[in-house]
Amino acid sequence: MPDEAADEPITVAQLGKRREQTEAIARLVGSHLEQHLEILRPAFDPRRLLGRHASLGSTREDVPGADQALRELTQRYTQVAGAPFSLRSEFPPDAVAGMDHRLAVYPWEYEHEARGAHEQRTIRITSPLRWVLTYRSAYTLEQLRGARTKQELRESDVAQFVVNMLVMRAMLDKFAPLKQLLTDLRFEVGLASAEGFGKLPLVTIASHLPTLRPPDDLILTVTGFSGVAAFIEVIDRDPLRSLRDPLREAIERILV
């Protein structure tokens, strides 16, 4: 699974080929994911949840439960608006009305403290088959994470990013078939916290294909050679053995 160290040893010589395979598979799976999400974009339209509240200057007929959904969204926004975003606690209704309904996926990254026999270093790890799923906004995930302080950023655009993420979570909570459909396509949807985002839960989407983080000694050796404190997880030696088929699993449970 992503974010976990490899059980088997990987040598420097093996790492090159494993990286090439990982990059090719990540491109393939990522391309399929983008195609799926583009087809599913109407199903992720926030107006299905928030009705007229998500319709800037529109006379679109409202949907049942829209007012309650907005109240819940407002409560969640108040809970996450503080550190590290330093946003006003008042909910910005314009951020909902002006949402970009296009979807965006960003690489999942985390910091790992690699410890060797003689050194330790903080390494930025990327999971190539796991992403953050949200709606498009002026700032990317990396731009928000990379800002030294949130004061360097435009408050309205930071608020938009936060609202977008909260709406995505609410959409998946409200419309369970969306999660089931993505599961049937061999993707798992979840929530995760991340360094630099405080209490804001990030919606993640990951392939059923596992990736592994090699032992710290190897990571330190490779990043020492490159001079860049960043590393990308690699696929398992036999990734197909972990590739799940949700429909087959459901049928097998019936036949037991």
Mean pLDDT of 76-84: 93
Distance from chain centroid for Cα 6 = 22
Mean pLDDT of 35-64: 87
Q: What percent of the chain has pLDDT over 90?
A: 69
CB 69 within 8 A of CB 189: no
**Residue range 175-228, pLDDT digits in tens:** 999 999 999 999 999 999 998 899 999 999 999 888 999 999 999 999 998 889
Mean pLDDT of 53-74: 84
pLDDT of residue 131: 98
178 belongs to a structural domain: yes
CB 159 within 8 A of CB 92: yes
146 belongs to a structural domain: yes
What are residue 205's phi and psi, to 5 degrees? -135, 125
CA gap 224, 209 in Å, rounded: 28
Confidence category of residue 57, pLDDT binned at 50, 70, 90: low
Greater pLDDT, 63 or 74: 74
pLDDT of residue 1: 45
**Residue range 99-147, pLDDT digits in tens:** 999 999 999 999 999 998 889 999 999 999 999 999 999 999 999 887 7
Amino acid making up residue 251: I
Neighbour-count burial of 84, counting CB atoms closer than 10 A to its CB (0-12 exposed, 13-18 middle, 19+ buried) = middle
User: Into how many domains does the chain fold?
Assistant: 1
**Residue range 215-243, pLDDT digits in tens:** 999 999 999 988 899 999 999 877 777 77
Residue 5, both tokens: 């160290």
2 belongs to a structural domain: no
145 belongs to a structural domain: yes
pLDDT of residue 180: 93
- Tell me: pLDDT of 56 over 50: yes
122 belongs to a structural domain: yes
Q: What percent of the chain has pLDDT over 70?
A: 93
Mean pLDDT of 4-16: 69
Q: Report the mean per-residue pLDDT for the chain.
A: 90
6 belongs to a structural domain: no
121 belongs to a structural domain: yes
- Tell me: pLDDT of 41 over 90: yes
Which residues form the domain of 141?
Answer: 12-255
pLDDT of residue 150: 61
97 belongs to a structural domain: yes
